[in-house]
A and B are shown apart, each in its own frame.
Chain A
Amino acid sequence: MIWLFFVVSLNTLAPSPARAAEAVSQPLAEDPKDEFRWAFSLAADVRWERISDQSVEPRALPSVALGWGVRPWLFLGEYSYDEAESEGSAILNIRRRSRSILFWGQYQVWELRRLTPFFSGGLGARQEKVDSVLYSESRTDEGRWLDQYGVGLGLRFSGLDPLWLSLEGRVLFCGDFEPNPQFGTYLRLGFFF
C-alpha cells in the first residue's frame, strides 16, 4: 500500500508519457550530470521478521549509507543498527541487538527525468547480540558475523538535486533470519556532493 502510494505520488511529479519516452530514447551519457559524485543517505530500513509471539511484523531500523555513483551505477555501503526493547518478565528477560553492513550496487535501467527505476544487489554481513537477565544474573552474548545477501527493485526521485529520495523493495537472505528470506522496504533520503 505504501509502495503504491509512493509510486502514484511520484508519478504526479514525473513528466508526461511523451516527454518520458523522449527521455528514454536519449543516450544516458549525453546528460551533463553523468559524472562521479559522492552520495550520502539516511534511511528507514523496514524488515518483516518473526517476533516473540510467532507473528511476522514489520520492524524499522535506522540506517546510514555512504557511496558514489556514475550513471547508470550507484554503489553504497550501508550500516543498519537495531536495538529491541527488553521482552519478558522482571526476573527473566531478553533484549536483542543486531547490526548489519551491506554493500549495494544499484543499476538504473532507464531514466525518466526525475523518476528512476533501478535494480539492486547487495552483499555483506550481520551480527546479533543478546542481553539476558535471570533474577540477579545478567549477561551479554554475541553471535558470529554471518553472510547476508539481498536483491531489490526501487524508484529514485531526484527532482530536487542534489537531494534525492528513494523507495526500494528488498529480499534479504541470511542464515539466522526468520523467516528466511526476509522481505523489506528501504525508504531513503540522500544527497549527492
Chain B
Amino acid sequence: MKMKLKDKTLVIWVACIWFMITCSSCSRPVSDEQSPRVLLPWIENGQYHFRVVELRTMESLKSLRGSVARFSVGVNGPEPIVRALRRSDGVFVPTDPMSQNLLSLYANLERLAELDDQVGVGYLLPRPWKISINTNIVNENQRRLHNNAQYDADRKMIEFTSFESRGDLPLTVNAGAIAHEHFHALFDVLVPSPASLQDCSAMEADQIAARREARLRELYRVRLLRAMNEGLADVWGWIHSGDPRFVARSRPEDGELRSLEKGIQPIWTAKQFSDYNRAEGFCPRRSDQDFVYQLGNQYGLAFQWAFGSKDRVPVAHVVIELLRKLKKDIMNFPDGDELKPALLIENLARQNPRQCPFLISILQPKDQSELTWQCWETL
C-alpha cells in the first residue's frame, strides 16, 4: 500500500520528535564529572605556568558548582557557565578567557579553604563562599571600576569587577590577589569592625565644628584597622602564592607601594599616623587613601623580613593568633585613639620572642622602649 503525502509528513514529524528526544538525552554535558582535572595558569615557586590542577570539591564543572564556592555574574545575577574541552587523557582545558579565569579562581579558593582548615579557622566562614564576577562597583565619582576586587562585608561576598585587557594578569587568576580578598573575610569575622561612620556629606558647618574631634578619633581607628587589614591581607596573599610582588602583576600602578620585596620601613608612631589622618580631612571623598596602604605595607614588610625564608603555613598560624589578640585589645580599649600602629608589632614580638631584636629595630625610638622592656621580660 502506497503512503499518502499526509502520512509521509506525519512520519517525518514523528521521526524528528523522536530524534530530538533521543539526542537531548545522549548529548549530556561532557564536563559533569566529580573532581575533574583542569589545565590552568598556576603559580609555582613564584612563577606562573600551565599546570594540571585537580578540583577536589567540584561537583559540576560546567555550572561551576562545588562545596567551596558558588558564583554569580553580578551580585544577584545568574550562575556563570564554563566552557571547556576534554582531552583524550581526561584533562579539561578551558576554551575561553572567562572560563579560564573562573576555574582558576575556584582552584585557588579550594586551596585557601584547605589553608583555613590547616590553621584552625575553617569553621569561621560557612561554605560555599559567595563570589560575584563582572560586578558593577563604582568609585566615589560614580565611575565604574575595572580590574579591581573587594570583600563586601554586608553581603559576605567577594566581588570582582570586569577585567579590561591591559597586558596584566587578571585578578581572578592572580593567586595572591584572591587570597588577599579572602583574608578580608577572615579579618571581618575575627576582628570586630568599628561602628560605621556617619555620612558627613550632608552635615551643616556647625554640626561639623561640633563633631570634628570625635569624628577624627573615629576616623583614626577605622583607618588604623583598615591599614592592619590591608597589610595582613597582603601577607596572606604572599603566604598563599609565595609571590611577594603579586599586586604588581595585576595592578602595576600599586605595585611599588604594596611590594613585599623591598627595604624594611619603620612603623609609624601614633602621632605620625594621626597627622596623616588629620591631613586627609574631616570628610574625605577618596576611599583608598595611600597612607593607609603605606602603613599596611610597613606591616607586610615586617612579616616578610621576619618570616620570609620559612615555611609559610606556620606564618599563617602567626597571623591568625595576631588577629585573635587584636580582637582582645580592641575590646579592652573601646574608644578613641588608644590603639597605636606599633600595637601589631608589639603583639607579634610577644608571640615570637626570637624575633624581638628585629621587631624592635623597625619601631620608632618612641615606641621602642616599651617593646624592649616587654621583650626583656619575655626572654
By size class, the interface of chain B is 35 or more
Residues in A neighbouring B88, C-beta threshold 8 A? 142, 144
| Proximity bits, B16-40, A CB within 8 Å = 1, else 0 | 1001100110111111000000010
The answer on a CB contact under 8 Å between B168 and A91 is yes
CB-contact partner of A121 in B19, B27, B39, B167, under 8 A:
B19
Find out whether the CB atom of A176 lies under 8 angstroms from the CB atom of B86: yes
Interface residues on A, range: 35 or more
Determine if B8 and A89 form an interchain contact, defined as CB atoms under 8 angstroms apart.
Answer: no
Q: Are B23 and A92 in contact (CB under 8 A)?
A: no
In the complex, the answer to whether B95 meets A130 with C-beta atoms within 8 Å is: yes
Residues of A with C-beta under 8 A to B206: none
Contact among A96, A139, A174 for B96, CB-based, below 8 A: A96
Residue A137, interface by CB 8 Å: yes
Digit string of A159-193 for contact with B (CB within 8 Å is 1, else 0)? 00000000000010111111011000000000000
CB 8 Å contact bits of A3-26 with B (1 = contact, 0 = none)? 000000000000000000000100
Smallest CB separation, A82 vs chain B (Å): 11
B residues near A135, Cβ cutoff 8 Å: 48
Asked whether any CB of chain A lies closer than 8 Å to the CB of B155, the reply is: no
Roughly how many angstroms separate A118 CA and B99 CA in the complex, as a whole number? 38
| Pairwise interchain contact B96-A92, C-beta atoms closer than 8 A | no
The CA of A139 and the CA of B39, in the complex, are separated in Å by 11
Alpha-carbon gap, A141 to B85, bound state (A):
9
Q: A66 interface residue, CB < 8 Å from B?
A: no
Interface: A35 (CB within 8 A): no
* Majority SS at the chain A contact face: strand
- Partner of B5 from A91, A109, A148 at Cβ < 8 Å: A109
Are the C-beta atoms of B28 and A50 separated by less than 8 Å?
A: no
Q: Which residue of B lies closest to A180 (CB)?
A: B27
A147 adjacent to B26 (CB under 8 Å) = yes
Contact B8 A109 (CB under 8 A): yes
Q: Given A52-B96, A52-B97: A173 and B30 within 8 A (CB)? A: no
A176 and B30 contacting across the interface, CB-CB below 8 Å: yes
Decide if B12 touches A109 in the complex (CB within 8 Å). Answer: yes
B93 at interface, CB cutoff 8 A: yes
The answer for the CA separation of A123 and B87 in the assembled complex, in Å, is 22
Contact (Cβ within 8 A) A90 B165:
yes
**Residue of B8, B16, B98, B168 touching A53 (CB-CB under 8 A):** B98
Known pairs A54-B73, A107-B12; A137 contacts B96 (CB<8 A): no
| Nearest opposing residue in chain B for A141, CB measure | B93
Q: In the complex where A50-B81, A151-B20 touch, is A88 in contact with B97 (Cβ < 8 A)?
A: yes
CA gap between A148 and B174 in the complex, in Å: 37
B241 nearest CB across to chain A (Å):
15
Q: Is the CB of A50 within 8 A of B83?
A: yes
| Chain A 95-133 residues near chain B, CB threshold 8 A | 96, 107, 109-110, 119, 121, 128-130, 132
Q: In the complex, which residues of chain A have a beta carbon less than 8 angstroms from the beta carbon of B62?
A: 178
Q: Contacts of B86 on A, CB cut-off 8 Å?
A: 143-144, 176
The distance in angstroms between the C-alpha atoms of A134 and B97, with both chains bound, is: 12
When distances are taken between beta carbons in the complex, the residues of chain B under 8 Å from A88 are 97, 100, 165
12 A-B residue pairings within 8 Å (CB atoms): A51-B96, A88-B165, A89-B168, A90-B167, A91-B168, A92-B41, A94-B94, A109-B12, A110-B5, A128-B95, A147-B26, A181-B20
Top 7 A-B residue pairs of the complex, sorted by shortest distance between their CB atoms: A143-B85, A173-B23, A52-B96, A89-B165, A88-B97, A90-B167, A173-B27
